Amino acid sequence: MVFWTSENLLSINFAKGLILFLIFALILFLFLLLAFRNGSIIWAVAQFKHYNKKFIEIWLVAVRRKLKEFTAQELVRSICAIHKLAVNSQDARIFLSEWEECALEILCTFNQVDLHMAIDALSKSILLLVAKINVLLIKLLKGARLSLLMVKI
């Protein structure tokens, strides 16, 4: 009796493929779970710098949903961190424009008191990123609702 027929080999290859797919899905699920826990998306983005562009596009869909739950302070901090990351990674530069566009749209929905509190809370850590924050603030100030932010700074 022959055990290594083409049907047996096909089922073995299918089983191996299914197991590998399930392992990858489990790792991705655990990674996303870690990434969204306590706003640690920036850590997750840093880990993704070696993945391909299609995977980053899938990640951006999830990030857009999560950003809507951020406070103004978390959004400003995330933009600062992604700028810092973009200096060191080519993939992060691709990610930066999408992230920043979405984050700025959401920041414009916050009231000015929330934005002032976010800037005040981050003022100590902003000293290292002053030039990049100024660029960010100029983009923010293009919106009519945020014109008083310049007076505060």
Q: How far apart are CA 118 and CA 53, in angstroms?
A: 32
Arithmetic mean of pLDDT, 69-79: 69
Is the distance from CB of 104 to CB of 64 less than 8 angstroms?
Answer: no
Q: In the structure, what pLDDT confidence band is assigned to residue 3 with cuts at 50, 70 and 90?
A: low
| Residues 32, 87 within the same domain | no
Establish how many alpha carbons lie within 13 A of residue 90's alpha carbon, considering only the half-sphere containing its beta carbon.
4
| Residues 63, 95 within the same domain | yes
| Residues 62, 125 within the same domain | yes
pLDDT exceeds cutoff 80 at 23: yes
Q: In the structure, what pLDDT confidence band is assigned to residue 1 with cuts at 50, 70 and 90?
A: very low
| Residues 86, 71 within the same domain | yes
| Residues 26, 100 within the same domain | no
Number of domains in the chain: 2
| Residues 129, 95 within the same domain | yes
Query: Residue 118: which domain range?
Result: 40-152
Q: How far apart are CA 23 and CA 142, in angstroms?
A: 46
Is the distance from CB of 117 to CB of 83 less than 8 angstroms?
Answer: no
Structure tokens at 105: 């749209």
Q: What is the pLDDT of residues 132-152, one digit of tens each?
A: 555 565 566 555 444 444 444
Q: How far apart are CA 84 and CA 14, in angstroms?
A: 44
Q: Quote the radius of gyration of the chain (alpha carbons, Å).
A: 21
| Residues 68, 25 within the same domain | no
| Residues 25, 46 within the same domain | no
| Residues 142, 85 within the same domain | yes
Structure tokens at 149: 């932010």
| Residues 72, 114 within the same domain | yes
What is the pTM assigned to this prediction?
Answer: 0.35
Q: What is the pLDDT of residues 89-119, one digit of tens each?
A: 655 565 566 666 666 666 666 666 666 666 6
Q: Give the closest residue to 35 by CA, choosing from 26, 25, 46, 21.
A: 46
